Amino acid sequence: MGSDINFYYNNSAGVGALLDRENRSMAVLSRQKKIPGIVASVCVGLAFSSPASLAEFDRGQALYENHCMECHESWAHTRDGRHVTSLDVLRKRVAAWSIHTGLGWSDDEVDDITDYLNRQFYQLTR
């Protein structure tokens, strides 16, 4: 550190520059000391998160809300004269829109969206 003091004084930076450097170093060290605590908190939170909260996640709903709701609000599924009359027809429409929009959903994703739409709007039997 002695060479640092000489460097700062020889470059006319004065004591303020040295203190600024030390304050920056302390701030970095302070942040570095906090990181393990933050990581530990996240890990503990994940470890103790209930399976119910994980089970509450509905991938079909998430996919629908992120990719379909922009154009297909609830009225699209509840209007008079709708063409969906069976789960098979509903699944085919979801799969067709996946292709039409270029999303390329997997069969599982199409099934999840179909199940979500059926629970939410259609209540069709298998």
**92 and 38 assigned to the same domain:** no
54-71 as b/e, with b when 16 or more CB fall inside 10 Å? eeeebebbebbeebbeee
**48 and 99 assigned to the same domain:** no
Task: Round to whole Å and give the CA distance between 61 and 75.
Answer: 16
pLDDT digits (tens, 9 = 90+) for 90-110: 999 999 999 999 999 999 999
| Dihedral angle computed from the Cα positions of residues 112, 106, 49 and 43, in that order, rounded to the nearest 10 degrees | -170
For residue 83, what are the domain limits?
57-122
**66 and 106 assigned to the same domain:** yes
**98 and 61 assigned to the same domain:** yes
**61 and 49 assigned to the same domain:** no
- Give the position of tokens 């520059």: 17
Q: Which of 6-15, 50-59, 62-71, 112-121 has the lowest mean pLDDT?
A: 6-15
pLDDT digits (tens, 9 = 90+) for 8-56: 444 445 555 555 555 555 555 555 555 666 666 666 665 665 555 556 7
Global confidence as pTM: 0.56
Integer-rounded Cα radius of gyration of the chain: 29
- Give the position of tokens 């799969």: 95
Task: Round to whole Å and give the CA distance between 79 and 73.
Answer: 11
**39 and 11 assigned to the same domain:** yes
**118 and 66 assigned to the same domain:** yes
**83 and 29 assigned to the same domain:** no
How many structural domains comprise the chain? 2
**69 and 20 assigned to the same domain:** no
Alpha helices of 1-126 — where are they, by DSSP H?
2-10, 14-47, 51-55, 59-67, 75-78, 87-100, 107-117
